[in-house]
Amino acid sequence: MSAALFGFLKRHKLKHIVTLCFEEYLGLLVRYIPGYEGMLFRWLLCKVTFKKIGSKSLIWPNVYMTHTYNIIAGDCIAINVGAHIDGRGGIEIGSHTLIGPNVFIGSSNHSLSLRGDEVRLFQGHTLKPVKIGSNVWIGANCVICPGVSIGDNTIIGAGSVVTKDVPDSVIAFGVPAAVQNK
């Protein structure tokens, strides 16, 4: 356990560790508060921990976010129930974007080394930023993989797994997500 803790402390800046503590402890307190009060408290927590978040955003109950110090979000975004967002590698979310229930957005992955001489837990992460444009709708139960860019005015259909970039003003869905003809 001490090796894992030492490795964690070695890889993170003090500011990031403090932010992670805020996310865990304050997040636990405000994550499940219902109603407008809960949305206000969750937005205030994001205001403190995000790199930047705009005004008038709605964060529904049971949204789990980690490494928020690398998340930039525009105005009037809505993140629905059960979403999980990992900002370790950097996430940018444009204004007026809707993120459906149970969506996962990840910006990091475990290193893909096949060496057997080192425990996978200690091999580190590959960080790849995610960029989500403005006026985007990501349907329920989607997975947005690290390194993906989603263009403005785009719709990602429910249950999709986005593994590569999606251009502006299209509808994409499926596993893996593909752009559909209009």
Catalytic annotation, residues:
110
CA end-to-end distance (rounded Å), the chain: 54
Strand partners, 53: 73
The helix/strand count (H/E) of the chain reads as: 3, 19
16: phi then psi, degrees, rounded to nearest 5? -70, -40
Q: How far apart are CA 127 and CA 150, in angstroms?
A: 17
